[in-house]
Structure 1
Amino acid sequence: MLALVTCALMLLQILRPLPAAAAVEALPDDYQYAIGFAETKNTNEWSYLQWDGTAYSEMDWKPLEHRWRGNCEFCIIARSGMHPDVNDAVIGWTAPRAGTVTVRGTIDSRDYGDPANHDIDGVRAFVRQRSGSTLTKVWPSDAYQEIRPGFMAQHIFQTTVAAGDQLLFHVNKNGTTYNDSTSWFPRISYGYTPKFALDQAELVMGPDDFEHIGINDALDASVSVVPKNGSFDFYHSSGGRLQKFRGDLRHPAQTPVYHDQASVRFTNLNQFDGTWWIENIYRTPEGHLLAFCHIENANPATSGWWAGGLAYSTDDGEHFQILGKTIAAEVKQQTGANGNIGGMPFVVKDGYFYVYFTEPGVPTVARAPVTEVLDAARRGTVSTWMKLDRNSGFTSPGMNGVGGWVMPAGETNDYGTHGDAAYSTYLGKYLMAGGSAGAGRGVFLAFGDDPTHFETPTWLLNSDAVNKPTLSPYETIVNLDGSDNGEVGREFYVYFGYYFVWPRDEPTTDIAKEFRWLYRQKVTLNAAGFNRSAVSLGTDYTGKHGENGLDYVQRFPAPGMRYFMMNWNDQDLRWHGDEQFALIDSVGMHPGSTYDVARAWQAPRTGTVRVSAGGGIFTAGGSGADGVRITINRSTSSFKSPVVTVWPAWDSPAAIVAPGTTLPFAPVDIPVTKGEWLYFNVNRNGNNGYDTTVWVPQIAYLP
């Protein structure tokens, strides 16, 4: 463990090793490959191996290459990633003690070659557990996770280990070794309870399947799933066309039913304007289909260019009658250049449909009584929908009224609503799946206790490579048995499109090959992950703003000054401020030459929390170092709110940690209100030389 701390400090520009054993106790049992990677064997519990199909053997360190190399030319492991050859490249981790561990990570191909080029065929990945001489595969449930060039897949699972057990992270060459470099930063944590487990991402439709069912351009909307006599009908809209096809959940594109111009399948008796997409479908009690539609190219003078509406089928989806518009943005956009409202995920609660869209760029909601919506649909029209107003409830008109946000605004992530929503009977919570075109791109899953309040989303699919030029749009939530109407149990699939190259207007983009991919991933919810009474700002640390209720911020140290976001760097896997040495990783923080840095935690509920830091707070030292000043601050609503100091006492000076020493930290109890933020703040004192500070707060609600 001492070496792990030393490595972490070196990452934060510290030139001398950590001399204080007390600081080691402050570290949680959180093992991150990106931090623990070393040039010596079996350091920080990590090892660097190869598998020849029969046995494991150790690689050799190559100092001139700064990486480990096996006995094959391209069998390589470095801090930045790994590459297989005839032998698998294998990262090993040895359990220092018995217990249950959570294993997290993203397997990410940073090669964006043509995924249909069979000479570049990607890799296969899986995780084994070795207990004595017994080898057991622990992830995925299938034989392996296939990673095509440019693809990525996240894993989350738990396993029980005995002291000395090994977890072995395999990358296999698949067929060829061309362009097989793979980024994989495993993370193993004792005492961390995840919200859900993730099995492998499975390809369910590729370019040939899209061609077979008549999707000639690309995936352009969420795929709607409707059970049909033991199989399933699937609906999709793309650029003025409507497709229907039939199959099972693993292989949807077995039988094409139709792929027509929308005008053939949509009846538009009242001549409503715009181009209509079917995004989600609800089966009515009498077996009819109510389609929630996204609308573009609408009349700017009436609804604006973007809108949402309803269509209705009484002949089992052979035709849909356009009923009318129900939702339009507050500002009537004149063109499609901006203002996309996304949509249209829905849930049902207490006799109301709740439908989600974005305004502007953040999810909001409108609702209408189910009986009124269905009665109007039977008459060939629509009823009145009302948007949520944060101050007065559902009082804002659905058409061009002002909508209130239902989840926190993304500072660096765009939470799009071209996805799906559902209610989990297992969890007693509402779910929303969507895509992000923000940093790292990917797929999110948000949870809410009611349909109008969702917490900051958690990532199902996301890359540490902030500028990864891919996109994962159009999500669908489906129960394992395929039943839909917006209700799932503990386990379900999230289907999502994958664009291997984005943006689509690049002249080199081959839409037919690179945009026609549909994956699904099984999610298993874990109620214990939602009922945690304690968090560690170490094991809960991630590279995504807001995830696990944590954030990473900076501010100018003056009264009334507000915090603002730091930026994730995918080269060194840590948060950077606006100054060179303003840095945060999972273990340490380093202030800038003028700016403070802080870890931020948002209270999920009202109560009193006990803040502790086992082993105290350690600050490095060196020539001319003068230590740091630390405080715990609080703001009542958001980063834009001024803060007050709650530790030491508000009228006391900041605590000073002298260079090269450990400051004991007696637990402190702090009352918090739901939504408040606590900031664990590090200030440079006089100068910021050698100011890396190891401070890993633990926060626990008191009974």
Structure 2
Amino acid sequence: MKKTEKVIVPFLIVIILTMVQSGLVYAENIDFTYDESNRLTQTDKIQFIYDNNGNLVEKMKKYRDNETYVASSDFSSNQGRNYWYYQEWDGKEYKSLGWDDSLKQWKGSQYWLRVAREFQHPDGNDSVRKWVAPKRGEIKITGKVAKMEGQVFGDGVQVKVMKKEVQMWPSSGWHEIAFNDTQGIDVNITTEVEKGDSIYFIVNQKQTIDYDGTYWDPKITYITSSAIKEFSPIQGDGNWYYQEWNGKEYKDLTWNADLKQWQGSTFWLRIAREFQHPDGNDSVRKWVAPKNGKIYITGKVAKLEGQIYGDGVRVKIKKNRTQIWPLSESEWENISYNDTKGVNISLMTEVEKGDSIYFIVNQNQTIDYDTTYWNPTIMYIPSVYNGSKEFSTIQGKDNWYYQEWDGKEYKNLTWNDELKQWQGSSYWLRIAQDFMHPDGNDVVRTWISPRKGNLQITGNVAKLKGQVLGDGVRVKIMKNKNQIWPGTGMHTISSDDIKGSVINTLVEVEKGDSIYFIVNQYQTMNYDGTSWNIALSLFP
């Protein structure tokens, strides 16, 4: 009986694998996405659109994945659909355009201010196409901007790209597009975004509006590492490797060109584009970090459709020698023999360049029907720090320190447990969760960078409500011994300025660099309570 099983089981697996390879079996499990009102918004093939009252108004084929956004393909008569908005800039604020159904274009406050599927046209105010990031991550912005065919007169246009209030391209000023330049320029930008960040594509008329129709079809793509999309017959391509684990060491598999799969030391040990199969040794897909940073690992692991027999499999994820999922070092995540829904993985971890992330499938007791669907996706994300939310009674916790500056050196403050504040060498020199107060010496909140990267500093600094007397304060930001904001001197916050100033600056940092947020008392320290909501995003 046992001998017969060994003959039949591989034969059945051969049939199933052949069906999968030939397209007779659709191997990828279908996912469903719901919005905050628990309405179905998309399946693998269909996108559902609702109006403001929650009524289904359109059901359409999904033409792109969740990682790519193209202005022309996503163009719509609804503001915000597919995360695109259509606006104008008057020099002070962005305002939404109105939809002209007869023209099938967005139209602004002036007749020729337009945004259409593939072009923009300014008129007095700038013409703006805006995209809002639906999630955190690293994005690549591409697309050609040029004068439209048939619009080769006038004095040309000026263009630029902004991320919130920070100019991204060109580095300063405007990029000039000559009146007859239909070849234009290819934009290619890589940047990190937080959920809700706005990217603005702006066209300015220059001197006149004559013939200012400008072709611009931006494409925005989240940069991710996907096991399925980057599957390759080459070890290390896309930072992916295909291995087996024998309990002592990882060994590379060999590419089988006939099967279009990686094959191990035993016949059924395989890795294909969409699945892994153990056989004695564990089947291991490995990703090697190309740079330092924080990564977000997602993906579903489940039994493959048509493989719902046997005794199931066990799976885990390791970073180098440390298990990171499931959390218990001694445990595996069990996928039962008929579980085609599986488990959705969502975890974050810090990596150094060269760190290995292992996606491991173990056969459990037998190898029968152990074909396992697993599509790991890896995305670098910024590390986020917040001075108020991470306020602590411990110096150095979450990289924050509480100090004073006497003109020669920084000195640590002392925690006052009764006041629940940090207190300095003079009575009113304080740092609390939501304010800073100088007294003779400057009061300083310090952050130490845990690694190399690009640091975006945002936040608002203002006088504290109820502290609107005195002669105001002065503030600045230093990186080590170099001032990074404002450009020179100190920024003055007047005595009654509770709205304050918005800060948004980007600076490169090395591991161990100190960022100092400094409040100076000006002439007197009376009513110098200062609110400073510091938010930091550290990008790889």
TM tier, shorter chain?
A: 0.3 to 0.5
Larger radius of gyration: 2
Q: Give the alignment's TM-score, normalised by structure 1.
A: 0.26
Normalised TM-score (structure 2)? 0.33
